[in-house]
Amino acid sequence: MAYDADWPPLSPSSTGMRGRCPRCGQGHLFNGFLTLRPNCEVCGLDYSFADPADGPAFFVVCFGSVPSIALAVWLEVSYQPPFWVHLLISLPVLLITCLLPLRPLKGWLIASQYFYKAEQGKLDRGSGSPQADDTQHKS
């Protein structure tokens, strides 16, 4: 297995949006549509560090489904079309704007976690923390 120093840094947007390994840019991130592979088949990078959680779904809801629902509401209020018109217009627009961006966004978030070496936050209760300084000044 190669070390991270052996690989040049790759842009998270170029690798993640294409679903490629954030380290080598050649291996795949996904097994299926959104299922993350255990590791890269080219460089062997373990993807256990990756935890995009609900980030992709949040971005899709904010930037995809809200305008799609606004379109459906506008269509209903302005024209009051029959139900089948919503099935032909509103439903496909909603599915396209909600499903298509999920995979590139998830890949981008995973690649960004690797690129910026993101990890779970930790509280530092050492001597340099503000809480420790307050207790030292009070005594």
- Residue that has been written with the tokens 């506008």 in this structure: 74
CA 50 to chain centre: 10
pLDDT of 128 reads: 61
pLDDT of 124 reads: 84
**Domain ranges within the chain, ordered by starting residue:** 4-120
120 pLDDT higher than 90: no
Model pLDDT for residues 55-96, shown as the tens digit of each residue: 999 999 999 999 999 999 999 999 999 999 999 999 999 999
Q: How far apart are CA 56 and CA 109, in angstroms?
A: 8
- Provide the whole-model pTM: 0.79
